[in-house]
Structure 1
Amino acid sequence: MQEITAQHFVERLARGAAQARDAGLDALLIAPGPDLAYFADYLPPVTERLTMLVIPSDGAPTTMVVPVLEHDSAAATRAAGSIRLVTWADGEDEHAPLVDQLWSGGRYGISDSAWAMHLLALQHALPDVRFEAFSAVLPMLRAVKDADEIDRLAAAGAAADATFEDILSVSFAGRAESEVAADLDRLLREHGHSHVDFTIVGSGPNGANPHHEAGNRIIEPGDMVVLDFGGLMDGYGSDTTRTVHVGEPTDEEHEVFEVVKRAQQAAFDAVAVGVPLQEIDRAARAVIAEAGYGKHFVHRVGHGIGTTTHEPPYLVEGEEQSVVAGMCFSLEPGIYLPGRFGVRIEDIVVATADGAQRLNNSSRELHIVS
């Protein structure tokens, strides 16, 4: 896995310009957030002050408008040699330098993360300009990963796998969910994560809430426990879910687990270049519905991952975008029986020319913990 260098950002900016051109846009307007980090290697402080990267589609120089007090930080990034900085000072019209980069009658894609106050100011200054959200015109802007990005995602996935293997040896029964969540956080960091986004520990009836926050419930013998955890390592995300059981499961619990396991495999088998993303969701959902648990699968089957743990593409009914080699996304079907228990199994996979490759390879069996 090679270091990300200035040349990587040169290539990313060129790809961004090409994607803008293909979408019929005059430029991309990129506000602080994951897109700015990806294209400009820059994450400024989250404030009301305007920062905006402008990537023209016609090959003109890329410009970033920044507050003057943040100039030195913006100039110190690996992408700085490819980006012209334009500054504004407190007390000045912060939007004027950005308006100068645009032109009447243009069509611009703008980050979903842009503040409404800045977009409205641009619309007021340029009433005949058309602004469109990235999610509408370029939803797959960062969806297809290059070989280096896939290597980084694979390394993050391997670290999450190692975390799961280690968590199997800790005590569950008699401890609070929050204590096990703290173990997951610690282990992710020990295995190389710089940031932990989430550590879901849903025991017993709490496992029936897909986004349960680990709390003070004491885990008991006989509990099914959903473990969903991930974060960032070397700038790229991990996200995996495994379900374990404290002591021997009942026949029903074992049956539900096996249905989810088959559904996850069905989703994996459905991944192929050219297949609409919604078909992968349908493949998993069909297995669960046939087993009689259809109404208990209450979320999409997957989401993209990259420099953030949730990003396009989304594998959900109605998404007709087709699979492209290099897309990386989760496959995470689940069954949630309210007031009783839940089961979810999640892997990150990368679409390849001949199917899919898992980036999580820890055991998908139902593990018994103590």
Structure 2
Amino acid sequence: MLPEDLTRVRARMREAGIDALVLRPSPDFRYLGGRGEGFLVLTLEAGPAETGDPAALVPAGARRVGVDPEMRVRELFGLMIDAELVPAAAVLAPMRLRKHPHELTAIERAAAAAEAVLEQARQLDWFGATERAMALRLRRLLLESGCEEVLSLRVAAGEHTALAAHSPSERVINPGDALLVSLCGQWDGYCAEVGRVFAVAEPPEDFEAMYSVVQSAHHAALGRIRHGVAAAEVAATVREVIDGSGYGRFAAEHAGRGVGLGPDEGPRLDPRAEGDLESGMTVCLEPAIYVPDLFGARIADVVACTPSGPLLLTSGPPELRILDR
């Protein structure tokens, strides 16, 4: 954390009437420099400091203490702090939205590692393998690439591609299946997800047409990402393209979300989202269509917002790729 950021955190604490922050290991914890497994305490005069006994570092007479939103109930009761406990996110979440150059570098490394593994995936033997077996192979490849942790991994074949949330199963992957694969890894504490669409041997009927709609929605939304544009406007652009194709009722509810120290943070690319995009924000742009019981297509790429437009940290959506083995 940069010294000027610490000054800004304390200024926001004063504005919110918060006397101290108490965090457990989480994105907020890492943002303030936490490295261990205990608690991190930041006050208006001291810290940040890691400790196993946060109550000992909270100033006597503190009236409001910001706590980590990921803190467990037993941890909250165990704090033994005689003060009003409020979410620390009100202070830290807005600050984490805009990334410094070193943060963008780490996010780009995580995205590059995930995309490289998806390129390697084209050389693997998919015919006759199960979703779970291929997910394990991809997990191993991502860890071997240098990522610290695999935060999520999706392999969905055939009808499972129509499920917005699907965990790899024992379903066998067969020729003629649509295939969705996405990887979210962590590099130097920062996260990035990349998702790609494949067809096994040959695409199902009408699948290429649907994929081209998702691809067009991705391109259209990418052209809207820049400083000062409303996040809701980017989501609306995706929806307009998909609605115009006739697939509107099958579109995913949102078009993307922020990535950084966490895999799912602000800003949200949602029609109901409030606020504008700002330089330094990074999002996972992920337009998708899910047709129940048939197939789905989702493309995920990491994009940084700049004053002049989008900075794509991955290569962008390719043409539909056919797996021949």
Aligned to 1:62: 47
Q: Tell me whether 1:186 sits opposite 2:133 in the alignment.
A: no
Q: How much has 1:334 moved relative to structure 2?
A: 0.6
Shift of 1:329: 1.0
Alpha-carbon distance between aligned partners in 2 of 1:278 and 1:137, rounded to the nearest angstrom = 23
Contact 1:165/1:362, CA 8 A, preserved across alignment: no
- Cα distance between partner residues in 1 of 2:88 and 2:250: 32
Q: 1:314 aligns with which of 268, 290, 293?
A: 268
For residue 103 of structure 1, the aligned residue among 44, 62, 66 is 62
1:238 match: secondary structure: strand
Structure-2 change in CA distance of 1:319 and 1:120 (3 Å): farther
Aligned-partner Cα distance in 2 for 1:207–1:339: 9
Q: Is the 8 A contact 1:273 1:324 kept in 2?
A: yes
In structure 2, the CA distance between the partners of 1:137 and 1:34, relative to structure 1 (3 Å rule), is closer
The answer on whether the counterparts of 1:17 and 1:28 sit within 8 Å (CA) in structure 2 is: no
Q: Where does residue 84 of structure 1 map in the other structure?
A: none
Residue of structure 1 equivalent to 2:234: 280
Matching residue within 297, 322, 325 for 1:368: 322
Cα distance in structure 1, aligned partners of 2:250 and 2:314: 25
2:69 aligned with 1:112: yes
Match of 2:200 in 1: 246
Q: Deviations over 1:272-312 (max 9, x none)?
A: 21222222212112211221222212332112111222222
Shift of 1:99: 4.9
Which amino acid is the alignment partner of residue 14 of structure 1? T
Moved more, 245-254 or 330-339: 245-254
d(CA) in 2 for partners of 1:151, 1:240: 16
**Equivalent residue pairs, number:** 324
CA distance in 2, matches of 1:273, 1:12: 21
Shift of 1:164: 1.2
Aligned-partner Cα distance in 1 for 2:140–2:32: 31
Q: Decide whether aligned partners of structure 1 residues 364 and 270 sit closer, same or farther in structure 2, where only a CA change above 3 A counts.
A: same
Residue 253 of structure 1 deviates from its aligned partner by: 0.5
8 Å CA contact 2:259–2:282 kept in 1: the answer is yes
Match of residue 41 from structure 2: 53
Cα distance in 2 for residues equivalent to 1:55 and 1:297: 45
Please give the per-residue CA displacement for 1:221-277, whole angstroms capped at 9, x wherever unaligned.
Answer: 111000011211222212110000012224510111011111111221121212222
**Distance of aligned partners of 1:219 and 1:65 in 2 relative to their CA distance in 1, 3 Å threshold:** closer
SS of the residue corresponding to residue 222 of structure 1 reads coil
| Structure 1 pair 41–124 and aligned structure 2 pair: CA distance change class (3 A) | closer
Q: How does 1:66-85 map to 2 (within 5 A)?
A: 66-67=51-52
RMSD: 2.4
2:108/2:313 contact within 8 Å kept:
yes
Give the 3 Å change call, closer, same or farther, for CA 115–141 of structure 1 in structure 2: farther
Partner in structure 1 of residue 128 of structure 2: 174
Change (3 A) 1:118 1:172: closer
- TM-superposed CA distance for 1:140, in Å, is 2.0
Larger radius of gyration: 1
- Which amino acid is the alignment partner of residue 183 of structure 1? R
Match in the other structure for 1:48: none
1:237 aligns with 2:191: yes
For residues 101 and 9 of structure 1, what CA distance do their matches in structure 2 show? 28
Q: Name the residue aligned to 1:289.
A: 243
2:225 and 2:234 in contact (8 A); partners too? yes
Report the TM-score when normalising by structure 1.
0.80
Alpha-carbon distance change, 194 to 121 in structure 1, aligned in 2, over 3 angstroms? closer
- Sequence identity percentage: 31
The separation in 1 between residues aligned to 2:101 and 2:91, in whole angstroms, is 25
Counterpart of 2:307 (choices 336, 353, 356) is 353
The question of whether the paired residues in 2 share the 8 Å contact of 1:305 and 1:329 is answered with: yes
Q: Cα gap change, 1:161/1:121 in structure 2, threshold over 3 Å: closer, same or farther?
A: closer
AA paired with 1:115?
Answer: R
- 1:139-218 matches, within 5 Å, as 139-218=93-172
Aligned-partner SS, 1:163: helix
Work out whether 1:35 is the aligned partner of 2:20: no
Residues 163-209 of structure 1 deviation map (CA, whole Å, 9 limit, x = unaligned): 11111111212111112212211221222212112221000001111
Contact 1:9 1:39 in 2 (8 A): no
Q: Normalization by structure 2: what TM-score?
A: 0.90
**SS of the residue 2:181 aligns to:** strand
Residues 1:24 and 1:349: Cα distance change in structure 2 (over 3 Å): farther
Q: Give the C-alpha shift of residue 155 in structure 1.
A: 1.5
- Contact kept, 8 Å, 2:12 with 2:91, in 1: the verdict is no
For residues 43-90 of structure 1, what are the alpha-carbon distances to aligned partners after superposition, in whole Å with 9 as ceiling and x for unaligned? 306xxxxx341242xxx22254622xxxxxxxxxxxxxxxxxxxx4xx
For residue 137 of structure 1, report the CA deviation from its aligned partner. Answer: 5.7
What SS is found at the alignment partner of 2:173? coil
From 321, 324, 328, give the equivalent of 2:282: 328
Q: Distance in 2 between matches of 1:152 and 1:287?
A: 32
Contact 2:22 2:40 in 1 (8 A): yes
Structure 2 spans left out of the alignment, 5+ residues: none
Matched residues in 1 for 2:158 and 2:143: separation? 27
Q: Which residue of 2 aligns with 1:44?
A: 37
